[in-house]
Homo-oligomer: A and B are copies of this chain.
Amino acid sequence: MEVKFIPTEQLKEKPDENALGFGNYFTDYMFTMDWTKEKGWHNAVIEPYGSIQLDPASMVLHYAQETFEGLKAYKTKEGKVLLFRPDMNAKRFANSNRRLCMEVLPEEMFVDAIATLVSREKEWIPTIEGTSLYIRPFMFATESAVGVHPSNAYKFMIVLSPVGAYYPEGVNPVKIYVEDEYVRATKGGTGFAKCGGNYAASIAAQVKAEKLGYTQVLWLDGVERKYVEEVGTMNAMFIIDRKIITAPCDGTVLPGVTRDSVIQLLKSWGYVVEERPLAIDELMEAGRNKTLQEAFGTGTAAVISPIGELSYKGESIIINDFQTGEITQRLYDTLTGIQWGKLEDSFHWTYEVN
């Protein structure tokens, strides 16, 4: 892939690494590339971060043909720049685009584009504990048309943001509201795809949960409102009687990269992991009788987020005395250790950017 480079006239000042927040700053450069039926992928450019021009009839503004990914770059003590399993993001991005009838970006181009941009922007990777460079690849429909059909033109972009912790709580336990009014996904829908519409639809439940004093929602399935699916923007795992239980990836749950990594780690440590429907009633009962030992969310943004409390139909259960559990902490330490190059990468998950 040939990438044109347009230098910026003025580099930005880098923000204080102690007060990054999440997604508040963007780096000097962004990556853009266009696709049309006639030309295929073309016009790959790294250029100064800035506004793009869109026709008001661009289909993305009306019919939400838009997909995205999220991953992070880390800087090791030795100064190496590491990505974490970018091939998994590339695969999921392709699957999201297939579901929305969008052009599929070849997986190696996806990884190449990220590596090229991150390499140029490596000075922007923060180094203090808990920080990283968040990478946001995304694609959207740019055809100007009013009829509903697959767009004949797309734009693929990558922007970068130096970030701290996703939740103000950091790696401390969060309170979760079990949502039984709004639904995130149903079989036959787009639940497994990382597409804008899923997120737009989720905001109402998120706002409701926050008003009630909770950090996130736990979604139930859309058919029976009976089975636990995922937590806000993370997959959810529950440890009941030393078995780890998480929803299966059969169409309604996002196939998380962190989810997959956690499952592999747990199995390598000798734990039993069950990917199966878990009824909310079973979960609440396990909370009451204290066989629910730990619970946590997994996702790129927060990595591992312990769940300290679940509220469902007016009943609250406290998990592990609202403390981060032993396995939860071990997973966080191991994953972030591998991501930051502090621990041996026996799974070959990290990808070094040159």
A56 contacts across to B, CB distance below 8 A: 30, 49, 51-52, 157, 159
Say how far A253's CB is from chain B's closest CB, in angstroms: 15
B64 engages A200 (CB within 8 Å): yes
Inter-subunit contact B138/A222 (CB<8 Å): no
Residues of B within 8 A of A189 (CB): 182-183, 186, 189, 201, 222
Verify A186–B64 contact, CB threshold 8 A.
Answer: no
Q: Which of B55, B134, B148, B204 contacts A99 (CB 8 A)?
A: B204
A109 at interface (Cβ–Cβ under 8 A)? no
Report the minimal beta-carbon distance from A274 to chain B, rounded to whole angstroms: 26
| Chain multiplicity (copies) | 2
A6 within 8 A of B: no
Which residue of chain B is the closest to A224 with respect to CB atoms? B223
Complex interface: chain B residues within 8 A of A195 (CB):
64, 197, 200-201
> Does A322 lie at the interface of the complex (its beta carbon under 8 Å from any beta carbon of B)?
no
Q: Cβ of A101 and Cβ of B188 under 8 Å apart?
A: no
What is the minimal beta-carbon distance from A325 to any residue of chain B, in angstroms? 26
What residues of B have a CB within 8 angstroms of the CB of A49 in the complex? 56
List residues of chain B with CB within 8 A of the CB of A101: 203-204, 207
Docked pose: A100 CA to B161 CA in angstroms? 26
User: Bound complex: CA of A201 vs CA of B195, how far in Å?
Assistant: 9
Can you list 11 A-B pairs, Cβ within 8 angstroms, ordered by A?
A22-B146, A23-B145, A50-B55, A51-B54, A52-B55, A56-B157, A57-B161, A182-B189, A186-B186, A195-B201, A196-B200
Partner-B contacts on A (CB < 8 A) = 22-24, 26, 30, 49-57, 60-66, 68, 99-101, 134, 136, 138, 140, 144-150, 157, 159, 161, 163, 166, 181-183, 186-190, 195-204, 206-207, 222-223, 225, 232-233
Other than the given A100-B200, A148-B203, 12 more pairs (CB < 8 A) read A49-B56, A52-B56, A60-B196, A64-B66, A66-B200, A100-B203, A134-B146, A136-B146, A149-B206, A195-B201, A196-B196, A197-B198
